[in-house]
A and B are shown apart, each in its own frame.
Chain A
Amino acid sequence: MTTTFTKKTLGLETTEPALTPPPAIDKVAPFNKKPKLGASKARKRDIPEGLWTKCPKCATMVFDKELDENLKVCPKCYHHFPIGARERIHSLVETCTFEEMDATMVSVDVLNFTGVASYTTKLEDYQKSTGLKDAVVTGICMIGKHRAALGVMDFSFLGGSMGSVVGEKLTRLIERATEKALPLIIISTSGGARMYEGMFSLMQMAKTCAALGYHAKARLPYISVLTHPTTAGVMASYASVGDLILAEPGAMIGFAGPRVIKDTTQAELPPGFQTAEFLLDHGLIDAIIPRNELKERLIQYLGYLTASQHLRAAV
């Protein structure tokens, strides 16, 4: 039987939306109570080296330089700090092989969103603070000996939220991969669909999955890597349909936000709920891979997943 539950009232007014929107950067609190994610960190790094960062997990003070060299992983407790899209790409691809696609694409305020803050202003602020145009960077690259299509999301840009630009860039990447018979890797981190673009954001879920359908039909491999946090609309679309689904240790991964679930069900959440480890135990994730091993493991996986192509080429 499906889970039964009790509700305080008959009405649906306590039910939260299916898609948790991007958490505002300065209010990241819902995720695990780890303070200081994303943008604030990125800004700090611009200050000359010699600064320390306190690990939110083990409270060790780590040299920023050391943290950078260690791919933003705490050298003591292996806590994975958020890592920017550019740094991530740098850590995975062979030097000078990343050919970026659609580097100039930017979001527009299509709904003329009349909220408390202007969407256009928000976009400009984030473009300045992150040096990114939007929340994903895409391109074709070499990883080991494998030519691959790679998309990397960045949480520091509006909570990694998916609007038209994220959807379009990823769809073009997937279509390019299908056309060129390339394996595809998408590294996700996102609070979900971007509210400011309304239904256009929701439709990016269908659009990206549509392209993935044809990529899969062509028997091309897709590896989805989930990093902290990957939730809501992104999790309910391309992030969930990899041939392989990998995750970083400790990453918060889920559909609805924990607070929404708690409010709706009035139940205590199980320990470790919605972490990578929890989802591995519940059968969603193929493997949890520490960041510093990711490249090596991707190369191995790609070797297996493209073996038949080599066979075909050899004949």
Chain B
Amino acid sequence: MKHQLDFEKPILELQSKLAELKKHPETHSIDINVGEEIAQIERKLEETKRQIFLNLHAWDRIKIARHPKRPFTLDYIGLAFSDFNELHGDRLYAEDRAVVGGFGTIGDHRVMVIGTQKGRDTKENIRRNFGSAHPEGYRKALRLMKMADRFGLPIVTLIDTAGAYPGIGAEERHIAEAIAVNLREMMLFEVPIIAAVIGEGGSGGALGIGVANRVLILENAYYSVISPEGCAAILWKDRAAAPKAAEALKITARHLKELGLVDEIVPEPLGGAHADPKGAAASLKSAIVQHLDELVALTPEQRMEQRYDKFRSFGHFLERKPVAGESLEVKEPKNT
């Protein structure tokens, strides 16, 4: 079976057994009837799935997040949004197809939807640059977001990228600057912003369209400061230690929720989004619509303040508190 993950093996075995039995009922065990045996296998299948997906390691989830059959941005746009009108170009240099964006409607909300887009086969992956955007992608996103802000459209971003593209052209046209400007500008928009990590949340390349009032993450997606392979190469001097790094970096949806870094985990159908893209899209849609309903009810000032306070609060550190009579605070000169 193509694209089978190792931990999915027991599930696929049961599924093929079930299919075989339905196709050739005469092969069933002698002492029970066919219907009963099928029901038994179906129960066992459900139970096996539940057991497996309940106990996944961080590394298993990363494999699901990178699954080639996992729904990508345009799949979710097709399934959860209606009348998507794609808009192209950064008006500066090029059209970057690793980022897609345009008008779309979700529930009752007309929005600007933007996301990083991977390809499913080699040809599409070359066109989409494997979902890794150049500066033009981030600048296109910014252009569309500014337009959304001007005309009062909420912004929804879907994040699925291994990271911004590490290439010569990307450096020559200042990819770091493109991301940094987005971080600053997204903070000042008056419209609601929702970001959803739907697969891979690869570092600055993900954050570049990820500054939002609400940050959602799909159950099997991950969001990390560095790829587990990159972290393993530096700390363990061995890329094969990636599963250990994945665990240590605390990058799964559950960990991120526990640490307060994401607002909500969007549940995926049992077996992962790749097993049921429609179910996953319905789940994502209901979460986005619910948060949009909440955010449109706020004033622009409240939304800006909420977004600022949310990101302002991230960080853990220790400060020595001043003892009685002592002041650690900076004294301001009187002449100002």
* Contact flags A273-302 to B (C-beta < 8 A → 1, else 0): 110000100111000000000000000000
In angstroms, Cα B320 to Cα A139, docked, is 17
Residues of A within 8 A of B331 (CB): 99
In angstroms, Cα B226 to Cα A104, docked, is 28
B297 interfacial contact with A, CB 8 Å:
no
Query: With A12-B66, A111-B248, A198-B225 as given contacts, are A209 and B166 in contact (CB-CB < 8 Å)?
Result: no
Contact B176 A115 (CB under 8 A): no
B205 interfacial contact with A, CB 8 Å:
yes
Query: In this complex, which of B164, B179, B180, B261 has the most chain A Cβ atoms within 10 angstroms of its Cβ?
Result: B180
Contact A15 B188 (CB under 8 A): no
Residues of A within 8 A of B259 (CB): 110, 199-200
Query: With A195-B225, A236-B204 as given contacts, are A10 and B236 in contact (CB-CB < 8 Å)?
Result: no
Residues of B within 8 A of A265 (CB): 166-168
Residues of B within 8 A of A237 (CB): 179-180, 183
B317 interfacial contact with A, CB 8 Å:
yes
Binds B, one of A17-25, A83-91, A304-312: A17-25
Query: With A1-B94, A113-B248, A255-B171 as given contacts, are A200 and B223 in contact (CB-CB < 8 Å)?
Result: no
* Contact flags B282-308 to A (C-beta < 8 A → 1, else 0): 000000000000000000000000011
* Contact flags B20-52 to A (C-beta < 8 A → 1, else 0): 000000000000000000000000000000000
Residues of A within 8 A of B8 (CB): none
Residues of B within 8 A of A117 (CB): 235
Task: For B223, give its contact among A104, A199, A241, A260 (CB under 8 Å).
Answer: A199
Q: Which of B180-227 contact A (CB under 8 A)?
A: 180-181, 183-185, 187-188, 202-205, 207-208, 210-211, 223-227
In angstroms, Cα B208 to Cα A273, docked, is 24
In angstroms, Cα B175 to Cα A13, docked, is 21
What's the tally of chain A residues with a CB closer than 8 Å to chain B?
91
User: Distance in Å from the Cβ of B49 to the closest Cβ of chain A?
Assistant: 26
Query: With A195-B231, A207-B315 as given contacts, are A116 and B330 in contact (CB-CB < 8 Å)?
Result: no
Residues of B within 8 A of A5 (CB): 129, 167
Task: For B315, give its contact among A116, A203, A211, A260 (CB under 8 Å).
Answer: A203
Contact A104 B132 (CB under 8 A): no
User: Distance in Å from the Cβ of B319 to the closest Cβ of chain A?
Assistant: 5
- Interface bracket on B: 35 or more
Residues of B within 8 A of A195 (CB): 225-226, 231, 234-235, 249
Query: With A111-B248, A116-B235 as given contacts, are A13 and B316 in contact (CB-CB < 8 Å)?
Result: no
B125 interfacial contact with A, CB 8 Å:
yes
Contact B163 A18 (CB under 8 A): yes
Query: With A2-B96, A199-B223, A241-B177 as given contacts, are A7 and B130 in contact (CB-CB < 8 Å)?
Result: yes
* Contact flags A2-34 to B (C-beta < 8 A → 1, else 0): 111101001011011111110110000000000
Contact B319 A12 (CB under 8 A): no
Contact B225 A210 (CB under 8 A): no
Residues of A within 8 A of B307 (CB): 210
Contact A260 B166 (CB under 8 A): yes
Contact B170 A104 (CB under 8 A): no
Give the interface of A toward B (CB within 8 A): 1-5, 7, 10, 12-13, 15-21, 23-24, 99-108, 110-111, 113-117, 139-140, 147, 164-165, 167-168, 171, 180, 193, 195, 197-207, 209-214, 216-217, 232-233, 235-241, 254-257, 260-261, 264-265, 267, 269-270, 273-274, 279, 282-284
**The 4 nearest A-B residue pairs measured at CB:** A256-B166, A18-B163, A164-B315, A209-B183
Give the interface of B toward A (CB within 8 A): 66, 94-97, 122, 125-126, 129-132, 134, 136, 162-177, 179-181, 183-185, 187-188, 202-205, 207-208, 210-211, 223-227, 229-231, 234-236, 244-245, 247-251, 256, 259, 261, 307-308, 311-312, 314-320, 328, 330-332, 336
Ordered by A's residue number, 8 sampled pairs between the chains whose C-beta atoms are within 8 Å are: A2-B129, A232-B176, A233-B203, A238-B180, A256-B164, A256-B171, A257-B166, A270-B168
